[in-house]
A and B are shown apart, each in its own frame.
Chain A
Amino acid sequence: MNILKFFTAGSVDDGKSTLIGRLLYDTDSILADQLEALQNSNRKNDDGTIDLAILTDGLRAEREQGITIDVAYKYFQTEKRKFIIADTPGHIQYTRNMVTGASTANLAIILVDARNGVVEQTIRHSYLVSLLGIKHIVVCINKMDMVDYSEEVYNSIIDRYKILAQQLKLVDVNYIPVSALKGDNIVQNSERMNWYNGESLLHFLEKVDTDNLDKSQLARMPVQWVIRPQTEELHDYRGYAGRVLSGTFNLNDKITILPSGASSTIEKIEFFDRSPNTAHAGQSVTIHLKDDVDISRGDTIVNASALPQESKLIEVDLCWMDGRALDTSIMYLIQHNSKVTKCKINEILYKIDINTLEKHPADEFKLNDIGRVIIKTADPLAFDLYDDNRSNGSAILIDSRTNLTVGALMFRAAVE
């Protein structure tokens, strides 16, 4: 059994919270006391049934306003898989929350209201999914009960969406007609839409094959911590602890340490009481090298045959996440995995109107703005392009005045 992390884009009006509530409810993932709290709540649907959306509204302000403000994580599992849902708000003022939720997801569910079809919001959400490099997409045409479960309506919406998908270069796009409110095609296949021959949403989620970072040739491990017991019996012990971001490391592999460029060979891989021959993507391990080289936190161990890019000038997509606008005159901190260095925004190339996908020249970046900039870092970063290797192609910007995370960065090119 493995884990599927997915995120849901859509607003309250599209029935997003109802959809998640329905998944939890129909997979028996709501426990009795939660259900009791739900039934005692005074929010009900028009027909008197429980408003399942309440299950995902966590904070008091959200309950008062009946909307999702922050990213909420929800968990459920079936016999086939464990699921982690990042439930994010859909309105444009919460773009940063959507970007946050999408950053760790392998799959995105995009909700389209069958009555409205592909609207501005659909374009925005789909753009964010493409920006964040989510490979698998399920477009749920929701509220089919409101359009008499019409196949024509469904077909016209997916025809329109296919044009958008092409424009955004989305690869694996799947379509499912659903009614979250009535439960059609969520867990069980709906009898009210016999014209639909595909799977229910849950069955699809259970079997979709997500990316295996292990397939990547780009073996990368940022060093988080150097283990040095310095006891008598372990006097010379020096282990480099970190999590393999991508690819695999094998015993006797030739490796390079960046940024120093020093090289060595893997002598031993340790995982607590075991010494495996291989460390795979996703695993947290400790690596020992044959040579005594100077390595500390922030350095990255990579396979010598597939080196990352190394540059101080990088073209990146930037999503601005702070109430205080970007200031090109000051220095920020950039955190790329375990490496932190100073950074400036050298040039703003353009901003993108995420409702229309048009690019505009810009000289400022405010909350929720997205566009392309060139950054200059104090120390060189050893990175991959985001599309090649998400985990080594992303970073955050920190405002050292407030220590807040103010920007999400996706590396697009090294600037020569």
Chain B
Amino acid sequence: MSTYNFDYLDELEAEAIHILREVAGQFEKPALLFSGGKDSITLVRLAEKAFRPGKFPFPLVHIDTGHNFEETITYRDKMVERIGERLIIGSVQESIDQGKVVEQKGKNASRNALQTITLLDTIAKYEFDACIGGARRDEEKARAKERIFSVRDEFGQWDPKRQRPELWNIYNGKIHKGENVRVFPISNWTELDVWNYIRRENIELPSIYFSHEREVITRNGQLMAASPFLNMDNEDVVFRKQVRFRTVGDMSCTAAVESEATLIDDIISEISESKISERGARMDDKVSEAAMEDRKKGGYF
């Protein structure tokens, strides 16, 4: 027997590649949901490892809220060009213009919830039967119970009580017409695992993950990037701060954290010591204890 070094990142990587190849093998029209965040960027690298030198057996799909950080879009377009894969954009602005969804009002208005409709429309339009996403079980309590192959009905709904048992490494992707499956290849990764992997693989990230000076306001005790997408009034005081973002979401719902971390090593030590979990910087989870469970039931990622 030869010895070999197969550490935890290798194991997580091998599992994710296995899952991606199962998607390729089991579905007719899969898609990879690409948000421009570090988790979906990690998925793209894993897909390269799973399918190169072949093409990806799926396009990338970006649900564009129209309230993006500019840096994310720049990154996205550069990356798509580098990997030479197809990008499909589902536009929340278009859904609003078509009257399918109504923009939220008030100070905490965000397009985060509206994305679900655009996502479901995009799935229906292209008849996607599987959507690969970068969600992880360590993010949130409801996610801790979701399967790697998570079946959604034709309304995109997740029913936690009707989940299929998922045994060994066997994934049952059989569905009826109209249903689709959300697939989460990095379910078993933690935030720290993702960062360690990005460091190991030397993966480039959008610049907003690293410390930079930015105009911010304080909203509900959190730092929000000052932007035209945020409903601000006279009470909001804009000031400059050295910050970075731990997740990349809609500008109106993604809070910044104060940080001097300019290098990936700094970020990893910051997270190792951090006392706020990643989704703690997402205002959309704060509404109630069951916020994520409710959104997932409604068709959220």
Q: Which residue numbers of A lie inside 8 Å of B, CB to CB?
A: 1-3, 31-34, 37, 41, 57-61, 63, 69-75, 77, 82, 84, 96-97, 99-100, 103-104, 214-215, 224-225, 227-229, 234, 237, 239, 241-243, 248, 271-272, 278, 280, 282-284, 297, 321, 333, 335-338, 390-391, 394-396, 398, 400, 403-405, 408
Contact = CB atoms under 8 A, between A and B. Distances in A.
B277 A84 contact: no
Interface stretch (B17-25, B75-83, B123-131, B236-244): B17-25
A57 B274 CA distance: 23
Given A37-B289, A73-B144, A75-B190, A243 B2 contact: no
Contacts of B277: 31-34
B130 to A, nearest CB: 14
B2 A282 contact: no
Interface string B44-56: 0000111111110
B291 to A, nearest CB: 11
Interface in B2-24: 2, 4, 6-8, 10-15, 17-18, 21-22, 24
A403 B52 CA distance: 32
19 contacts: A3-B8, A3-B11, A31-B276, A32-B276, A33-B280, A59-B141, A75-B190, A215-B1, A224-B24, A227-B53, A228-B54, A394-B167, A395-B170, A398-B174, A403-B174, A403-B176, A405-B164, A405-B166, A405-B172
B172 A282 contact: no
Tell me if B's interface is mostly helix, strand, loop or mixed. Answer: loop
Given A61-B161, A338-B22, A104 B17 contact: no
A239 B8 CA distance: 26
Contact of A283 (B10, B25, B163): B10
Contact of A284 (B14, B141, B170, B293): B14
B260 interface: no
A301 to B, nearest CB: 14
A103 B167 contact: yes
B59 interface: no
Contacts of B172: 335, 396, 398, 403, 405
Contact of B21 (A41, A69, A100, A242): A242
Contacts of A72: 141, 144-145
Given A1-B8, A73-B144, A408-B165, 4 more contacts: A32-B276, A224-B24, A241-B50, A271-B49
B42 to A, nearest CB: 14
B165 A99 contact: yes
B6 A400 contact: no
B298 interface: no
Nearest to A296: B25
A227 B22 contact: no
B108 to A, nearest CB: 18
Contacts of A271: 49
A59 B145 contact: yes
A284 B275 contact: no
Contacts of A59: 141-142, 145, 160, 293
Contacts of B193: 82
B25 A321 contact: no
Nearest to A231: B53
Contacts of B169: 104, 243, 337, 391
B91 interface: no
A289 B275 CA distance: 51
Contacts of A395: 170
Contacts of A284: 13-15, 17-18, 21, 49-50
Given A59-B293, A75-B188, A400 B174 contact: yes
Contacts of B13: 284
Contacts of A272: 48-49, 52
Closest A-B pairs by Cβ, 3 of them: A32-B275, A33-B280, A284-B17
Contact of A338 (B2, B25, B141, B166): B25
Contacts of B50: 225, 241, 284
User: Which of the listed residues B172, B176, B187 has the most CB atoms from chain A within 10 Å of its own CB?
Assistant: B172
Contact of B8 (A2, A278, A321, A396): A2
Contacts of B21: 224-225, 241-243, 284
B67 interface: no
A391 B164 contact: no
A408 B167 contact: yes
Contacts of A391: 168-169
Nearest to B1: A215
Nearest to A336: B170
Nearest to A227: B54
B215 interface: no
B175 interface: yes
Nearest to A394: B168
User: Which of the listed residues A271, A333, A391, A405 has the most CB atoms from chain B within 10 Å of its own CB?
Assistant: A405
B138 to A, nearest CB: 5
Contact of B53 (A84, A100, A229): A229
Interface in B33-49: 48-49
Interface in B184-199: 187-188, 190, 192-193
A396 B17 contact: no
A207 B174 CA distance: 40
Contacts of B25: 224-225, 297, 338
Contact of B160 (A34, A70, A77, A242): A70
Given A57-B141, A404-B164, A405-B167, A282 B290 contact: no
B138 A75 contact: yes
B168 A390 contact: yes
Contacts of B152: none
B1 A214 contact: yes
Contacts of A214: 1, 4
Nearest to B136: A75
